[in-house]
Amino acid sequence: MQFNHTEEIIYKVILKNDLFLYYKPNEVMGFCESCPNYGKIWTCPPYEREVIHTFNPFDYAIIIGFKGKDFFKLKKESTVYLHELEGMNGNVSESNFTTLVAGNCEICESCGKSEGQPCLFPDLMRYSLESVGFHVSEICDAVLGESLLWQTEHPKYMAVAGILLEEKALDAMVEKMHSSFGDLVRKGSHD
């Protein structure tokens, strides 16, 4: 994939259990409640079913920070990248990993939820780390060694995404990431 807005990519592989050190749903839901998307998008809380349990089969998490100048362009570019990565790894419904995109789903111009409809593209919609209760600022500081600079509801220079996966998929996934990230990539400074 050609990256047009991403200037640097930082990633770190951690145990899924270590990611759960930053699972702080009560605190994070407080932030979400003040967001204009709260309750209006199927990938934003509150949820009708518990999403976090769908991560039970996974062993590892790859946290990925896409850095550049414009958060919204980074968000879109990183989401396209993650969908491409899924395609490179076969059918996602049968795979041993799942991706978490940066921020809310933007596949439809207007989310089905706000129209009282079910999700229009359930195979494509992805949750974000924050929408399921992870404290992304703390993850960035502690895992990537980067501070998120917030302006109103979004960070300024970095879109943060993740991949949760089984151990058997880890080496192949990291290899695929490296082959598509090229010179943009560096590992998290807390490696």
* Interface with ligand SF4 (CB under 6 A): 41-43, 105, 107-108, 111-113, 119-121, 124-125
Q: Find the shortest distance in angstroms from Cβ 65 to ligand SF4.
A: 23
DSSP strand pairing (154-155 vs 150-151): antiparallel
Output the furthest CA–CA distance in the chain (Å, rounded). Answer: 45
Neighbours of 142 (CB within 10 A): 17
Distances 92 to 40, 89, 135 between C-alpha atoms, Å: 26, 8, 26
Q: Find the shortest distance in angstroms from Cβ 48 to ligand SF4.
A: 13
Q: Find the shortest distance in angstroms from Cβ 165 to ligand SF4.
A: 22
Question: Nearer to ligand SF4 by C-beta: 37 or 137?
Answer: 37
The 3-state DSSP class for residue 14 equals strand
Question: Nearer to ligand SF4 by C-beta: 51 or 119?
Answer: 119
Q: Find the shortest distance in angstroms from Cβ 107 to ligand SF4.
A: 4
Distances 166 to 14, 87, 95, 109 between C-alpha atoms, Å: 12, 17, 9, 33
